[in-house]
Structure 1
Amino acid sequence: MPDDRKPKSPWLPPRWFIRLAWAVHRAVYRVTGGRMGLGRPKTGRWGTLRLTTRGRRSGLERSVILGYFEDGPNLVTLAMNGWGEAEPAWWLNLQAHPDVTVVLADGTRAVRGRAAVGDERSRLWSRWRDINGNLDGYAARRPTETAVVVLEPRPDQA
């Protein structure tokens, strides 16, 4: 007899907890003057970076801390909003103003953001899946496809 049940979604902490955890992470970064809170990716693990965008409506600088991995000279992150339904504000800002800066554990870079598409998206999604085996289950919680965001060195900064 075939099993028609959907696979069980991986567990996520409550939304308030996810938001609190990232707020604490940003506070640690701020209180320590950036000495703590950012880290380089390691084999099988993502790192953390600080992305600063310009608000699409306000024009003010907005900063967030995101997980990423390196793909050659590019940095790759996911526009997932803690796996919530809405698109993250930083991703909407990045689409309106793609030239941004990132702070890494080893310095600042000027980058241009864009969504990966086609084979590139599939390849990068697979790399994320290698880091987090529950990726597909988490992404299935969202009503829209999760953007794979590529942050490329800006040509004027190379």
Structure 2
Amino acid sequence: MNPLPALARALGTQPWVMKLAKVVVWVDHRLHRVFRGRVSLVGIAGLPSLRLTATGRKSGLPRSHNLLYFPYRDGFVLVGSNWGRPQNPAWTINLRANPEATIEVRGKEIPVRATLVEGEGYDELWRRVVKFWPGYEMERVAAGRELPIFLLTPETATRNVDE
């Protein structure tokens, strides 16, 4: 059994870890580039990670971010924690403006549709993601805001439901 996920979850609840955000993001981008999406810091820690590419709300250009995700049903859950900063991360604003995006998981590209989770669904999913990644509660308190939660559904699953 891999001890790294438990270690990562324990470290993720330490306030000093949020101060390392810029370094972690920089290293993770370099790993993604060198290993063509097959290696990430989150992945090394034994946790699920993906690379989200969404359309920039203002620029219209593709914007990519490496993120921890929570596997849920046939989709992917993302939490807009922004490392405990008071403002939402840019990718959340971009997904609200245009919910069509692409994710890369273990080198495989998947078109997805993002849905902002609200109401009772939010409360239920929040309990699940905090159990999965306890650091989200610390980041919510530090940010002083409700952290947005998005459910990303693969486009093929969305089409099948709509048809």
TM-score interval, normalised by the smaller of the two chains: 0.7 to 0.9
What is the identity, as a one-letter code, of the residue corresponding to 1:88?
A: P
CA separation of 1:11 and 1:146: change in aligned 2, threshold 3 A: same
Q: Confirm or deny: 8 A CA contact 1:47 1:67 kept in the other structure.
A: yes
Q: Distance in 2 between matches of 1:157 and 1:58?
A: 32
Q: Distance in 2 between matches of 1:157 and 1:102?
A: 19
Unpaired runs of 5+ residues, structure 1, are 1-9
Larger of the two Rg values belongs to structure: 1
Q: Does 1:30 align with 2:33?
A: yes
Superposition RMSD in Å: 2.4
Length, aligned pairs only: 146
Q: Confirm or deny: 8 A CA contact 1:79 1:148 kept in the other structure.
A: yes
TM-score by length of 1: 0.81
For each residue in 1:96-128, what CA deviation from the matched residue of structure 2 results, as whole angstroms up to 9, or x when unmatched?
111000001162211111211122111211111
Kindly indicate which of the two structures has a greater share of residues assigned to helix.
Answer: 2
Q: Distance in 2 between matches of 1:35 and 1:21?
A: 17
Q: Confirm or deny: 8 A CA contact 1:79 1:88 kept in the other structure.
A: yes
**Aligned counterparts, 1:133-144, within 5 A:** 133-144=134-145
Q: Distance in 2 between matches of 1:136 and 1:96?
A: 26
Aligned-residue offset at 1:156: 4.3
For each residue in 1:68-98, what CA deviation from the matched residue of structure 2 results, as whole angstroms up to 9, or x when unmatched?
0111111101011111111101111111111
Aligned-residue offset at 1:134: 4.0
Give the 3-state SS of the residue equivalent to 1:86 in structure 2: coil
| Aligned counterpart, 2:6 | none
Unpaired runs of 5+ residues, structure 2, are 1-12
Q: Confirm or deny: 8 A CA contact 2:14 2:135 kept in the other structure.
A: no
